[in-house]
Amino acid sequence: MQSRRSFIMGFMFAISIIEKYTAFINQRSLRAQLVNQILPLIPVIRPLNTNRKFQQAMQNSKLPYQVPRWIQCLGSVHQYHGQSAIFEIVPHYVQAANHVIFYLHGGAYLNPPTLQHYQLLTKLANQTGWRVIMPVYPKTPAYHARDAHAMVMDAYQQLLNDDTIDSITLMGDSAGAGLGLALMQRIRDQKMQLPAKAVLISPYLDISNSNQQMRNIQPRDPMLNIATLAQLGLLYADGISVKDPLVSPIYGDATGLPAILMVTGTDDILSPDAMRFQKMAVSHHWEVTTIRYQAMNHDFMLFPIPEARDALHRVIQFIQKVSLRA
């Protein structure tokens, strides 16, 4: 019995050493490498390159969103005040009912939130003790940027009107992060109360996709494709210039916005624009901090890998230093 226990402990120790060695050599964990191999087999963002695909996407985007049954089984996801398109993820133990995270999900303005989104938000809720509010905004091709902005602005206003809430942290990933930054610019311009802080995960800041550095990263990015993003970006803009801050907030002004934390990875084609925004922030004295993970893919925080756990820990450290709403 003792020898068997010693063997198991030795085996686990050897696996741990192999994982650490592999991570050192390849600049990412073994789990991250496995995810990187699997992602090309299950494309998340598909091009609408045939009439049939476009019509199917059009039909899907017209349907009202419903939380999948397997998500409902989690028991922590509810409609926010009975609204069919705004959802609340409640922590096991509410430690600060007056603090909420306003989360805008990604999906290239085409797809609804995924299982991985709900898993991340459940972790956020449980590890902070805060509620998470997620509006599922209208999607292209049936709906466009103005529709998405109108919906999320209305949802944000509802949080401002909620007397039980003292502090709002805005957070989003990918397209949702871009929408979030554009939303904050509008909130400031309309002289509304801004969020206390913001976190932008793998942000999609420029739907013109004109940054030439994206081409250098494309062979290493297993999730996103520049041509597909360009097509979906035009559908989302619906006639608005792709360099209008409403759809590409990198062309807007971040003066007066709250402290922003960006999380990105070097193997994400959207990373060059995140770093470009960081450089703009330095030159304009905006309060922006960027954590850039080596060899990490787009939206890596959504996956069950050590790097995602580390990033989540750092995000929570950032958002918990929140000032109360005036």
Q: Which of 37-46, 97-106, 153-162, 210-219 has the lowest mean pLDDT?
A: 37-46
From the CB of residue 41, how many other CB atoms can be counted at a distance below 10 Å?
A: 7
CA dist., res. 147 & res. 139, Å (int):
8
The answer to whether residues 315 and 321 touch, using CB atoms and an 8 Å cutoff, is: no
* Digit-coded pLDDT (tens) for 107-159: 999 999 999 999 999 999 999 999 999 999 999 999 999 999 999 999 999 99
DSSP β-ladder status, 99-104 and 131-135: parallel
User: Does residue 296 carry a pLDDT above 90?
Assistant: yes
The predicted pLDDT at position 178 comes to 99
Q: Where are the alpha helices (DSSP H) in the chain?
A: 2-26, 30-38, 51-62, 69-72, 115-128, 145-160, 175-189, 213-217, 226-237, 271-284, 306-319
The answer to whether residues 189 and 211 touch, using CB atoms and an 8 Å cutoff, is: no
The predicted pLDDT at position 75 comes to 66
CA dist., res. 33 & res. 22, Å (int):
9
pTM value?
Answer: 0.90
Q: Could you give phi then psi for residue 266, rounded to 5 degrees?
A: -70, -15
| Mean pLDDT confidence for 298-314 | 97
CA dist., res. 107 & res. 61, Å (int):
12
Domain ranges of the chain: 31-319
The answer to whether residues 136 and 89 touch, using CB atoms and an 8 Å cutoff, is: no
User: Does residue 61 carry a pLDDT above 80?
Assistant: yes
User: Does residue 89 carry a pLDDT above 80?
Assistant: yes
The predicted pLDDT at position 17 comes to 43
User: Does residue 322 carry a pLDDT above 60?
Assistant: no
The answer to whether residues 271 and 209 touch, using CB atoms and an 8 Å cutoff, is: no
Question: What is the CATH topology of the domain spanning 31-319?
Answer: Rossmann fold (3.40.50)
The predicted pLDDT at position 244 comes to 99
CA dist., res. 83 & res. 151, Å (int):
12
The predicted pLDDT at position 24 comes to 44
The predicted pLDDT at position 26 comes to 54
| Mean pLDDT confidence for 256-274 | 98
DSSP one-letter string for 235-290: HHHTTS-TTSTTT-GGGS--TTPPEEEEEEETT-TTHHHHHHHHHHHHHHT--EEE
> Which strands make up the sheet holding 167-173, listed edge to edge?
77-79, 86-89, 131-135, 99-104, 167-173, 197-201, 259-265, 288-293
Q: Which residue has the tokens 């000032």?
A: 323
